[in-house]
Amino acid sequence: MKDSKERSERLKAILRLIRAHRIESQESLLKFLEAEGFILTQATLSRDLKALKVGKISAGESGYYYSVPSDEERRETDASFIQDLQRGFVSADWNSSLVVVHTFSGHSATVALALDSLGFECSLGTLAGQDNAVFIALRQGYTGDQFLEELRRKVPSLRVE
């Protein structure tokens, strides 16, 4: 299992670097991180950028560069995803590598998007069923119990049995 303190420090470094430098590619960002002692893969960096809700903004004809939303923008976005999750969530069950979230009819795509967007460390990704189920593949070393703990931390008002 990944060390959450290391991840937390890496996420802080990513935010600091993006705010301090005009970074146009993941390759450039990886070099900045490496110079600070963080060695990670492009796939891990992609997940980190997604979790931080980092986007690219246009610099006109000179291309694009990374930008981070303000804390207020991030809170507003997260609040919207939390509402979507609360509206559609019915229950959850799991086995050794998969969590199944049952949703109200027609809410599976919205709940899957919310779960992906809230950036769960335990999750490799989600797959929305046709109507009322979301499948969440767990990262190796994580359990359904850990996923539900993380869910309760991110959405304390959600009733998770």
The token pair at 85 is 């999750």
Domain assignment of residue 144, given as a range:
71-154
Strand partners, 3: none
CATH assignment at residue 121: 3.30.1360.40
Please list the pLDDT of the chain residue by residue as tens digits (161 residues).
Answer: 444 558 778 888 998 999 899 999 999 999 999 999 999 999 889 888 887 888 888 877 778 888 887 767 667 777 888 999 999 999 999 988 899 999 999 999 999 988 988 888 888 889 998 889 999 999 889 999 999 999 998 888 888 76
Q: How far apart are CA 55 and CA 43, in angstroms?
A: 16
Choose the final residue of a domain: 17, 33, 67: 67
Instruction: Provide the 3-class DSSP secondary structure of residue 123.
Output: strand
Choose the final residue of a domain: 40, 67, 94: 67
Choose the final residue of a domain: 48, 67, 86: 67
Question: Model's pTM, two decimal places?
Answer: 0.61
Tell me if 27 is assigned to some domain. yes
Tell me if 161 is assigned to some domain. no
